[in-house]
Structure formats: structure tokens, C-alpha cells
Chains A and B, each alone.
Chain A
């Protein structure tokens, strides 16, 4: 390896270390037998145990799950439709509305949705959170589906049409199975985005509809205990698993952002 390559490698390794060290620390301290996130005292699983007795945490986790499933299901349907429409037809307004929520700072969406719900007298709660999450998840699914469609072989659908299939049959029996990995990857991504969302949920949550990220935020602001590390580790593992599956299904999906 020449000198320049070595420098490059060193810089890259530093970058990777920078990316992963903090997360490793969070995980490590979740097993630390000490209230402070300082010196290593001993190995323990007690923080995980405390977590499962923490009512608020369990409620928040349940809420996050419920919201995630609902939001990702609906946004996958809408997102697939949007992705297909953007690929097949010339739409002018749709691409803009699909991509804008991803491009602008999240706080703008959060704040405008808050005003929106309050003015329409919609009580802030689980429903308002789900509606908000769908709005920004559609874009991600649409992008993934569209790129998957772009890489698909058109001749198969054309052949189906030539053989007399209606457009809906061609879509259902040929296109959809072909893009299904992309759709599923999009669904998984939407689920992850919903579970991890903080800013938009922060503004549109209501009474009794805390989600896991909001709960973590409250804990971080009030009293930092290794319980936060424990819940963070669990959340990370879940997200990791989902994203790995998604990347297996649709290798280009993650880079399509």
C-alpha cells in the first residue's frame, strides 16, 4: 500500500470509528452496574429488567408499534401508487409533493401539522400522529418503488398486455411480483422511519400518546439513567434487523435517498 492509500485508509477508519463508537458506548453502558454512565463497575441485566416493569415505557413502546404498523401499511399503499404513477405517467404536482416533506426541515412539517390539527379541532393523539407519519413516509416508499420500477424489464409487462391482459391484470400478475421486494423494502423503511421519528411526533402527540422516542427525550431531559441505554439498545437492534432485511430485499433501496 502506498503512502497515500495508507492515509486514506487511516482517515476512513477514523470516520467509521467516529460513526460507531458512540453507539457501542450506549450499548456497553446498558450493561453497566452503575447509575452513572461513567466508569465500568460490573455486568448486569438489571436495567433491562427495570425497563420491562416501567409502565410508561411499555405504553410508549406499544404506541410506537401500533403507529408504526398502521402508518407504514397505509403509506406503503399510497407510496407504491405514487411511485408507479411517477414512473409511468407525467405528473407535475405529485413528485413535488412527494419529495418536499423529505427535503424541508422536519420542524416545519411538525409545526404546520400542529396548527392544522388544532384549527380543524382534531384532538392530538394517536390518530394525529399516524396521519402525520403517513405524510412523510409516502415519499420514501415512492422513491424506492420508482427506482425499482426503473430497473425492471418492461418487455414482460408488454408481453402480458399483448397476450390480452388488462392493465390491472398486467400490474397485479406481472409488475407487482417483480417490484414486490422493493415494496416490502419500502414498507420496512417506512416502519423504521415511523418508529424513530421524533420531531414531527413531538408536535403532534397528545394526551396518553407518547411514543418511544418522546419517552426517551423526556428521560434524557429529566433523569438520565442506564434504562435509557437499555431501551436505546433494544430499539437499535430492532431497527438494525429491519434495515438489514430491507437491504437484502432491495439492494439499491437504501441508496435511493
Chain B
């Protein structure tokens, strides 16, 4: 009996501190080839875990999750994570490729001096749609109205999904009403809530990740989603030889820009591998691979030359100066605001 137990114990030990890099990342936010070439380079294994929403990441950390090396939160959460003691400061000396980054994306208010985080990729939360179906219905997709206006929604009832994220859905509604995404006025929040509730009966589901597949199979026609996911839905549709394409639409009222960053967890089992990985991803070619496969925006100057021209032309991925003016980044909330938002979100989900 004892032999059996010790055998079992040994069998499970390899999971600890082996030559493994534990990466906690958004789903479909890294090129599979990059993972493979990094594994070859570092002679280690990359173990990936995925989350669909920053809140999920934070909840796991608040529950004391240990064992992640590199995480990729959206930058506005970095300040809070650092204060909570979940991150370790970055030694730039170990990141020679840091110089590849465009200065515009460095030294943000969320992490002055990039003490804890290094820009990874960008995405814009906007609208993705099935171009054939929407053309048939005669709907032009250029505004959040296609998600919130019952008059338009009537024609696409049950074919729309929105993100399962209280922050994102609220931001979209606020933008539709003409407010800033960081507006904390309770009266405006109430207005946003009513707008959402009016539109909800026409939505099929709240989906954080599943909508990519639903778009490429043609089950869902309009989504509130991330630009890189929508890009991948289009790739999927083309692979499946569908008669339609999935297009991005950057609403005229504006949208949320998410600058996602790499951080190293304070309790990282292998910080050395973490540094290797971050430096690897800061290399121009690898950063470009990310954009070429996932369609995400890129803060890396070195990467630009390796990015496919057809992707560079997608405004939703590389917004021009005009569109960039309408983008905002979300700011983190304090405890009270989070509670209020959660209460609104519960009401939205319950009704």
C-alpha cells in the first residue's frame, strides 16, 4: 500500500518546477508556431492555460493561484495587480529586445516606466459580422446601433452575441449613448443598463470565446468581440470554404482599445524561463507572427516589416489617426464601483 502511494506521489511530482513555462494567456492569442519555436529554443515545455476575461484572471489570482510564470493582462489592470502583490518588477537588463517597442505604447499611466509590464499586443473591442447575411438584410454596420437598437436587432434576432464581460458590455453601451467608457456617473450607468436590457431579448447569448466558431460556421451573424478573434473567425470561415467573409466594423461612436501586456507573477516557479519568453516575444519576427496569425494590433516597431500587407490595411487592427481618436482604454475600478457594476450586471443577466 505504501509503495503504491509513493509511486503515485512520484508520478505527480514532475508537475512541479520542471523545465516548464506556465503561460496564462487569452485564448487564441499566440501563434502555435511561436510556441513551438520557443520550446525548441529554450529546450523546455510551454504549458498554456487560457482565460476569456480579465476578471477571470484576477479571480484566479485572488483565490491564491500559484504556478503561473507569465500572464497577459490588459494594461489597465496592471496597477491593481502590482498593488495586490501579484507581480514582480521587471529587470529590463534581461530584456534586450525591449528597445523594439514603439515609444507611444510605453510608460503608460497604468505602469509608469514599465516597471511591471511589457506591451504584448493590442486589440480593439468592436463588431464582427457576416458580410453576406448583413448585405442581404440591407444593414450597414458602422455603429453600435447594430448591437443595441431594437429596430435593427429585429432583423437579426437570435443571431447576435455580446461579450460575457461586464466591463466591455457596459463600455459599449456607454459609447453608444455618447459617453466615455470610463464614465462613472450612476445616472449614465442606469441609462446604459436600460439600453442593454432593451436589446437583450434579441441577443442569443453572452459569449466570451465561443463566438469565433459560431461566426465561422454561420450560426451567428453579428458579434460584439475582440478584433483579433474576429480576424480568426474570418480565417476559419475561409478555411471552411464558406461563401461569406467575416468583417470588422469600428463603430463611429468609438470603442475600447486594449493594450495587453506581459507580466511575471511574483510566485513564478521559473522566472528565468519567463524572461526568455518575454524577450522572445519582443523579437520583431515573433511579434509579427502573432499579428499575422491572430490579427492583433502590434506595438512593436521591429515587427512592422514582417506583417502581411493585407492585415496592415485592416483599419480595425491598425487604426488610422482619425479612428485612433475615438478609441479609449478602460480604467480599473475601485471596490465600490465594482460592486455597483456587478449588481447591474446581475440584473442584466437575471431579467
Contact = CB atoms under 8 A, between A and B. Distances in A.
Interface of A: 35-36, 66, 69-70, 114, 117-118, 121, 123-126, 206-208, 218, 221-224
Contacts of A118: 63-64
Contacts, number: 54
Given A35-B240, A208-B49, A223-B210, A125 B217 contact: no
Contacts of B209: 221-223
Interface stretch (B65-73, B81-89, B151-159, B250-258): B65-73
Nearest to A122: B64
Interface of B: 8, 11-12, 15, 22, 24, 27, 47, 49-50, 52, 63-68, 208-210, 212-213, 217, 240
A118 B63 CA distance: 6
A207 B27 contact: no
Given A221-B209, A222-B27, A223-B210, A207 B8 contact: no
Given A66-B12, A221-B210, A208 B64 contact: no
A117 B65 CA distance: 11
Given A123-B67, A208-B22, A223-B213, A66 B15 contact: no
Given A221-B210, A222-B210, A223-B213, A207 B65 contact: yes
A156 B90 CA distance: 73
A159 to B, nearest CB: 30
Given A66-B8, A66-B11, A222-B210, A121 B217 contact: no
Given A66-B11, A66-B12, A207 B217 contact: no
A36 B216 CA distance: 11
Contacts of B52: 222
B63 A207 contact: no
A80 B213 CA distance: 48
Nearest to A224: B213
A171 B30 CA distance: 60
Contacts of B212: 223
B2 to A, nearest CB: 12
A207 B68 contact: yes
B51 to A, nearest CB: 10
A123 B267 CA distance: 12
8 closest A-B pairs by beta carbon, nearest first, are A207-B67, A222-B209, A223-B213, A118-B64, A123-B66, A118-B63, A207-B65, A208-B15
7 contacts: A35-B240, A123-B66, A206-B66, A208-B22, A208-B47, A223-B213, A224-B210
Nearest to A59: B47
Contacts of B12: 66, 126
Nearest to B265: A207
B11 A114 contact: no
Given A207-B22, A222-B210, A223-B212, A124 B68 contact: no
A206 B8 contact: no
Contact of A121 (B27, B50, B64, B210): B64
Contacts of A224: 210, 213
Contacts of B50: 218, 222
A114 B63 contact: yes
Given A69-B8, A117-B64, A223-B210, 7 more contacts: A66-B8, A124-B63, A207-B65, A208-B15, A208-B67, A222-B210, A222-B213
B210 A206 contact: no
Contacts of A123: 64-67
A71 to B, nearest CB: 11
Contacts of B208: 221
Given A123-B67, A207-B49, A208-B47, A70 B8 contact: yes
A9 B284 CA distance: 70
Contact of B65 (A121, A206, A221): A206
Contacts of A125: 67
B305 to A, nearest CB: 33
A69 B8 CA distance: 9
A125 B16 CA distance: 11
A118 B64 CA distance: 6
Contacts of B210: 221-224
A32 to B, nearest CB: 15
A15 B143 CA distance: 49
B27 A124 contact: no
A121 B64 CA distance: 8
Nearest to A36: B217
Nearest to A56: B48
B13 to A, nearest CB: 11
Nearest to A120: B64
A208 B24 CA distance: 10
B212 to A, nearest CB: 7
A121 B63 CA distance: 10
A224 B8 CA distance: 33
A35 B208 CA distance: 21
A54 to B, nearest CB: 13
B266 to A, nearest CB: 14
